[in-house]
Amino acid sequence: MMDVNTRRLRYFVAVAEELHFSRAAARLFVAQQALSKQIRELEGELGLTLLIRTTRRVELTEDGERFLAVARAVLAEWDDGLRRVRQASRAAQQTLRLGFVVGAALELTRPILAEFARRHPEIELHLQEASLSDPSCGLADGSSDLAILRPPLSLPGVKRLPLFVEPVVACLASGHPLAARRLVSPAELLDEPLTVGGGNDVAWRAFWTLSAFRGPDRPARIVETSSPTEETELVASGVATALTAAASARYLSRPGLVYVPVEPHPGSEVAVAWRQDVENAAVTAFVEVARAVRDAERELIRGIEHPSVVNPH
């Protein structure tokens, strides 16, 4: 019993929620064989049968149902405790850990960071880029004090300051049938294999896989990706299509890729976000600076929100 660890608990919860080893393995970014082994070892350590496996489906046993509630409670308590320890260790320090998605606040990033350094030289700012597997950019596990990210998120208790909203585009291989179009509709992309990261965040993944436009009979064909570079390779090779923000046409431009606006579709918001329970003086100072720079840089933001050229090729 002492060998049961949080990794095995997370693996079990993923399988219990997906009821499918392949989907759970993709969600966890592990090989299916390794996942199956970990679940078998967990059952052996507990002396319980948690899952019934057949060639067609996976089901929870009664013991599995009960243990799922225990595992979720343990993981929630562990994650919350770890986050609080990290917060306490930095409480007396004049440091601020800023997580950010790739691209951060685009052209608005440098003015915000420069103004924060000018106003608050006493606060040391640590920048940490998040992978596509964590759209909360460290807010979920407490490794960041605040973040520049792209909602929506399923994470509760998060406050945010919107900075701007930019158009959503489809990133297509240059030989794709839709690549020559001036616009594409969400309906035309529903059967496309779509790249997506986002780890386990349901709201984030739903936004980038067009869930709002699907019926129950049109599930998304998902191609998991872990980085923007990997995403562009998948698209350029014709393996998948990517739904992304218009700035990708500026920051991830390369031969073989075409960016076409998707309409109608909600824009992609970029915001400064922080947890309500981590609203300290340093976080407040950064938010105030971000608000001031946002309000002062209206022309810069107008260019981000209304790019004159989406597809440079």
pLDDT of residue 115: 97
In terms of domains, do 46 and 111 share one? no
Region 76-83: mean pLDDT is 84
Query: What CATH number has the domain bearing residue 76?
Result: 1.10.10.10
Mean pLDDT computed over every residue of the chain:
90
The answer on pLDDT for 270 being more than 60 is yes
pLDDT of residue 86: 67
The answer on pLDDT for 2 being more than 60 is no
In terms of domains, do 32 and 119 share one? no
User: pTM to 2 decimals?
Assistant: 0.71
CA distance 82 to 89: 11
In terms of domains, do 172 and 233 share one? yes
The answer on pLDDT for 313 being more than 50 is no
Helices (H), the chain: 6-18, 21-28, 32-46, 62-90, 109-119, 202-208, 228-236, 248-251, 281-296, 298-305
Chain segment 89-147, per-residue pLDDT in tens: 555 557 899 999 989 999 999 999 999 999 999 999 999 999 888 999 999 999 999 99
The answer on pLDDT for 1 being more than 50 is no
pLDDT of residue 61: 93
Q: Between the CA atoms of 54, 59, 61 and 64, what dihedral angle is there, to the nearest 10 degrees? A: 120
The answer on pLDDT for 53 being more than 50 is yes
Q: What region does 60 belong to: left with phi over 0, alpha with psi -120 to 50, or beta?
A: beta
Domain holding 200, by residue range, is 166-261
How far is C-alpha 259 from the chain's CA centre?
Answer: 21
Region 271-294: mean pLDDT is 94
pLDDT of residue 96: 94
> What is the DSSP-derived secondary structure letter of residue 192?
S
Chain segment 137-189, per-residue pLDDT in tens: 999 999 999 999 999 999 999 999 999 999 999 999 999 999 999 999 999 99
In terms of domains, do 176 and 119 share one? no
**Count of domains forming the chain:** 3
In terms of domains, do 141 and 280 share one? yes
Q: Dihedral of CA 57/58/61/65: which sign? A: negative
In terms of domains, do 180 and 244 share one? yes
